[in-house]
Amino acid sequence: MIRSEILKEIAPILRDQLVVCNIGIPSQELHAIDDQPTNFYMLGTMGLASSIGLGLAIAQPKTVIVIDGDGSVLTNLGTLPTIGNNAPANYILMIIDNGSYGSTGDQPTYTGMKTDLAGMARAAGCDNVVEVQDVDTGAALQAAIDGGTATVMVVKCDSGNAKMPVITMDPVVIRDRFMKSVAG
């Protein structure tokens, strides 16, 4: 499966949750598949989805699901120790690990070679790290939501992107409707 197929499959699970979605094609895919006011789309700033989600999870009690990528986590590796030492129970980081920089032309990342993101997360202090195959994502995500403990999921899938339109929504609108959903 490629990322967009996973997103289609888990869209019904994501719909009722606060979701912080990674920059580029992942946000475009989620927006096209099932746009929700509970989705915060990153339009810029590669690498910070996990940090934004962590700040959000600490600040309020609702479950926060971060949809991140292997390339984006690699660009902000300092996030893993911060998560490992601070993540509250309502924090779920789902790293879609397709071993490539999807938004820039599927150039390979190091996670498709020798680098093991799940091992790095564990070494950084994340207690609950689960490695998931693409077809099992929905069940694993639901288990993480129901489990009520901070979770890092590393979802292994194929490289590839669906052709989706660029998000043209005003960033302040994205942020404002998201904040209203958080507070609601």
Residues that bind another protein (CB under 8 A): 20, 40, 42-45, 47-60, 76, 78-79, 81-82, 86, 171-172, 174-175, 178-179, 182-183
Cβ-based burial of 68 (10 A; exposed 0-12, middle 13-18, buried ≥19): buried
Nearer Cβ to another protein, position 82 or 159?
82
Q: How far is the CB of 160 from another protein (least distance, A)?
A: 26
Closest by CA to 155, choosing from 113, 105, 118, is 118
Nearer Cβ to another protein, position 25 or 57?
57
Nearer Cβ to another protein, position 78 or 119?
78
Q: How far is the CB of 82 from another protein (least distance, A)?
A: 6
Q: How far is the CB of 79 from another protein (least distance, A)?
A: 6
Nearer Cβ to another protein, position 55 or 112?
55
In 3-state terms, what secondary structure has residue 84?
helix
Q: How far is the CB of 35 from another protein (least distance, A)?
A: 17
Long-range contacts of residues 180-184, Cβ cutoff 8 Å, at least 24 apart: 180/37, 181/18, 181/37, 181/38, 182/18, 182/56, 182/60, 182/62
Q: How far is the CB of 103 from another protein (least distance, A)?
A: 14
Nearer Cβ to another protein, position 88 or 160?
88
Strand 151-156 to strand 129-133: parallel, antiparallel, or no bridges (unpaired)? parallel
Instruction: State the Cα–Cα distance between residues 87 and 55, nearest whole angstrom.
Output: 9
Contact 50, 126 (CB under 8 A): no
Nearer Cβ to another protein, position 108 or 171?
171
Locate all alpha helices (DSSP H) within the chain, ordered by sequence: 3-14, 25-34, 49-59, 70-75, 79-86, 117-123, 137-147, 171-183
